[in-house]
């Protein structure tokens, strides 16, 4: 079951940005939590809590860092023309090729007006073997003296890409704590929302567990089974699903609901066993879905329960 597709939303980010800096050493590079992309932020910039990047709350200057697939570099290289940018509201001043420690890159500089605020904007697109880094710098014209072109360019040239994000750092992005990974490892995270855990490869169709927190959920216990079935019906990449049991239960002292089911993978060949737990409370619900091959279910199910019972709010 390819739950990893759910993590693709990690690449969806609105671009708002800003920057300035002095000559620095590579050791000064800062990586926002959860980001593979880093650079040396300018004095006055702090790590943003709203997006991957840095910001100056007093001036609304900001830097956004976005990870894209490696093939995106060629597409952006061909599409960022003066005409295309003008249609997007950006008046191009210059574009130039750069050679950075991460690989080839190009820089676009221009002017834009957003909600009646005139801004100066820089867009750096950098190639690397495994990904494309998109860095957008945005500075209101009224504070441009605080972020001169020379300082911004110097900071952009410190662009760095790390090979991976430490697991502990990824887990800190979640609104809940995992007390027991039960032998699983982190496959992907949606910051502030969800995590996918999976068996360590190489395993054909490994056991996986998806944990997601969402607002809402019924207050009345009589409505929870219908709600649970509706949520379970949206589980992707499983066919021929047959619910074998559904019941209310307590999960670590909280009201909850459990669904057990059988099904097949998207090809219709591999037999799967599934469990969904919903835990209600505090105006939100926690959804936990465990999936394994039918023949490995007896091993996977106790591990799913161990993960479930170790989840605590932050």
DSSP letter for each residue of the chain: --GGGGGGGGG--------------GGG-B--TT-SEEB-PPTT-EE-SSSSEEEETTTTEEEEEEEE-TTHHHHHHHH--HHHHHHTTEEEEEEEEEEETTEEEEEEEEEEEETTEEEEEEEEEEE-SS-EEEEEEEEEGGGGGGS-HHHHHHHHTT-EE-S---HHHHHTTSSEEES--TT-EEEEEETTTEEEEEPPSS-SS--EEEEEEEE---SSGGGHHHHHHHHHTT-SSEEEEEEEEEEEEEETTEEEEEEEEEEEETTS-SEEEEEEEEEEETTEEEEEEEEEEGGGHHHHHHHHHHHHHTEEE-
**Same domain, residue pair 123 and 144:** yes
- Is the distance from CB of 135 to CB of 62 less than 8 angstroms? no
Task: Quote the pLDDT of residue 67.
Answer: 92
Task: Quote the pLDDT of residue 202.
Answer: 59
**Same domain, residue pair 96 and 186:** no
- Is the distance from CB of 241 to CB of 261 less than 8 angstroms? yes
Among 161, 190, 211, the domain-final residue is 161
**Same domain, residue pair 149 and 213:** no
Task: Quote the pLDDT of residue 201.
Answer: 65
Query: How would you write the pLDDT of the chain (314 residues) with one tens digit per residue?
Result: 433 332 232 222 222 222 222 333 444 899 999 899 999 988 888 998 888 899 999 999 999 999 999 999 999 999 999 999 999 999 999 999 999 999 999 999 999 998 889 999 999 999 999 899 999 999 999 988 998 888 889 899 999 999 988 888 888 889 999 999 999 998 888 888 999 999 976 566 789 999 999 999 998 889 999 999 999 999 999 999 999 999 999 999 999 999 999 999 988 999 999 999 999 998 899 999 999 999 999 999 999 999 999 999 88
C-alpha span between 251 and 270 (Å, rounded) = 30
**Same domain, residue pair 12 and 154:** yes
Task: Quote the pLDDT of residue 203.
Answer: 63
Domain containing 297: what range? 167-313
Question: Which CATH number do you get for residue 277?
Answer: 3.40.1000.10
Among 132, 161, 190, the domain-final residue is 161
Is this prediction's pTM over 0.85? no
**Same domain, residue pair 281 and 197:** yes
C-alpha span between 213 and 231 (Å, rounded) = 12
**Same domain, residue pair 119 and 173:** no
Nearest to 291 by CA among 201, 197, 228: 197
User: In angstroms, what CA-CA distances link 48 with 34, 55, 151, 224, 287?
Assistant: 12, 6, 20, 37, 28
Strands 208-215 and 238-251, sheet pairing: unpaired
**Same domain, residue pair 291 and 171:** yes
Domain count, the chain: 2
C-alpha span between 106 and 123 (Å, rounded) = 8
**Same domain, residue pair 155 and 175:** no
Task: Quote the pLDDT of residue 248.
Answer: 95
Task: Quote the pLDDT of residue 18.
Answer: 26
**Same domain, residue pair 220 and 271:** yes
**Same domain, residue pair 124 and 172:** no
**Same domain, residue pair 13 and 68:** yes
**Same domain, residue pair 182 and 142:** no
Task: Quote the pLDDT of residue 44.
Answer: 81
């Amino acid at each position: 079951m390819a739950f990893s597709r759910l993590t693709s939303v990690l690449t969806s980010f609105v671009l708002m940005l800003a920057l300035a800096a002095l000559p620095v050493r590579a050791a000064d590079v800062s990586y926002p939590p959860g980001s593979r992309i880093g650079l040396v932020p300018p004095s006055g910039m702090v790590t943003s809590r709203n997006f991957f990047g840095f910001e100056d709350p007093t001036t609304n200057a900001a830097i956004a860092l976005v990870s894209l697939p490696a093939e995106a570099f060629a597409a952006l290289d061909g599409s960022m023309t003066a005409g295309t940018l003008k249609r997007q509201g950006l008046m191009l001043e210059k574009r130039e090729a750069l050679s950075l420690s991460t690989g080839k890159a190009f820089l676009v500089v221009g002017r834009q007006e957003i909600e009646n605020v005139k801004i100066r904007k820089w867009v750096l697109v950098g190639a690397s073997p495994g990904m494309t880094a998109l860095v957008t710098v945005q500075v209101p014209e009224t504070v441009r003296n605080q972020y001169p072109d020379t300082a911004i360019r110097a900071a952009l040239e410190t662009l760095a890409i790390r090979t991976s994000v430490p697991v502990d750092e990824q887990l800190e992005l979640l609104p809940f704590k995992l007390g027991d990974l039960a032998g699983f490892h982190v496959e992907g995270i949606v910051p502030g929302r969800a995590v996918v855990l999976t068996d360590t490869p190489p395993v054909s169709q490994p056991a996986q567990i998806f944990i997601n927190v969402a607002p809402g959920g019924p207050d009345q216990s009589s409505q929870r089974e219908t709600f649970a079935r509706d949520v379970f019906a949206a589980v992707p990449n499983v066919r021929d699903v047959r619910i074998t049991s559904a019941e209310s239960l307590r999960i670590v002292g909280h009201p909850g609901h459990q669904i057990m089911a059988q099904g097949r993978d998207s090809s219709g060949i591999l037999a799967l066993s599934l469990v969904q737990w919903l835990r209600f409370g505090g105006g939100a619900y926690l959804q936990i879905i465990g999936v394994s091959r039918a023949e490995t279910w007896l091993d996977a199910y106790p591990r799913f329960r161990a993960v479930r019972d170790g989840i605590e709010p932050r």
